[in-house]
């Protein structure tokens, strides 16, 4: 008998066919609630496509249990990537003890995100392991994984019903992370019916206990299409701390390119 030899190209073709078959079969296996949850989440993602790139100023306000605040001034740069997750660069300008700190994130729909943190005090770039993605970002109540762009493939879904949130009639969708390294067992997301904007997210920890709630406040529309919240407020129900991100000075289609998001230049960004 003649044996068939498989080279790398053949193996990739076979695996691609198997993956497509699995996805196709799974799509037929979805319950009505799962399909609707997926459809709502996909629509929310699709409505925001086409912003290309953006810059913004951000204040990160950290509050402890006693309400004491510390404020950090940050510059944000984002790049929309076709057929992949977005890229983002976070640059800390104030106060002095964090000035020059920079965080670079490459989101991916299926593969683990690539993330690097430059710490001026150590003068080195630290890669964030996928196993550490649930850790706190710069002492805030946001985890590293919270800073990735939303990609539909990262979750499975279930529509739970309708509720009013922030005075808006909204869909309530349960999202289950596919990544085994996620710090969450599930998220419950409220998306308003009129514009498909995320209004609120409840995060449940690995013990399936409510950990945090993220609220999006005062949306503004840019370029006649893209909605961005003026404020994102993350409250940790287990430690009593909170972090607010206050956004301003948005600009879109500024000419940023892939080369502006380079881990080798993290030490030099300003």
CATH of the domain at 73: 2.50.20.10
In-domain check, residue 20: no
In-domain check, residue 21: no
SS3 210: strand
User: Which H helix or E strand runs over 127?
Assistant: strand 124-127
In-domain check, residue 182: yes
Q: What is the domain extent for residue 196?
A: 44-268
In-domain check, residue 39: no
Domain count, the chain: 1
Long-range contacts of 128-134 (CB under 8 A, 24+ apart): 130/179, 130/181, 131/181, 133/179, 133/181, 133/182, 133/183, 134/181, 134/182, 134/183, 134/184
Taking only the tens of pLDDT, the chain with its 270 residues reads 444 444 544 544 444 444 444 444 445 699 999 999 999 999 999 999 999 999 999 999 999 999 999 999 999 999 999 999 999 999 999 999 999 999 999 999 999 999 999 999 888 999 999 899 999 999 999 999 999 999 999 999 999 999 999 999 999 999 999 999 999 999 999 999 999 999 999 999 999 999 999 999 999 999 999 999 999 999 999 999 999 999 999 999 999 999 999 988 787 776
């Amino acid at each position: 008998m003649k044996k068939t030899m498989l080279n790398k190209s053949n193996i990739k073709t076979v695996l691609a066919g198997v993956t497509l078959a699995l996805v196709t079969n799974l799509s037929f296996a979805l319950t009505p609630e799962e399909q609707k949850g997926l459809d709502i989440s996909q629509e929310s993602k699709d409505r925001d496509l086409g912003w290309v790139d953006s810059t913004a100023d951000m204040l990160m306000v950290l509050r402890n249990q006693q309400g004491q605040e510390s404020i950090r001034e940050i510059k944000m740069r984002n790049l929309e990537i076709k057929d992949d997750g977005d890229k983002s660069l976070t640059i800390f300008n104030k106060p002095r003890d964090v000035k020059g700190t920079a965080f670079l994130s490459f989101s991916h729909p299926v593969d683990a995100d690539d993330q690097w943190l430059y710490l001026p005090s150590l003068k080195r770039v630290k890669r964030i392991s996928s196993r550490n993605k649930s850790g706190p970002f710069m002492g805030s109540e946001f985890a590293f994984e919270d800073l990735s762009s939303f990609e539909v493939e990262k979750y499975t879904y279930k529509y739970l019903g309708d509720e009013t949130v922030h005075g808006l009639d909204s869909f309530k969708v349960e999202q289950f992370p596919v990544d085994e390294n996620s710090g969450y067992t599930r998220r419950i997301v409220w998306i308003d019916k009129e514009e498909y904007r995320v209004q609120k997210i409840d995060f449940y920890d690995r013990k399936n206990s409510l950990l945090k709630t993220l609220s999006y406040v005062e949306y503004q529309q840019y370029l006649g299409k893209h909605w961005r919240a003026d404020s994102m407020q993350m409250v940790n129900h287990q430690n009593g701390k909170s972090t607010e991100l206050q956004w301003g000075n948005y600009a879109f289609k500024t000419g940023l390119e892939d080369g502006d998001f380079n881990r080798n230049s993290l030490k030099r960004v300003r």
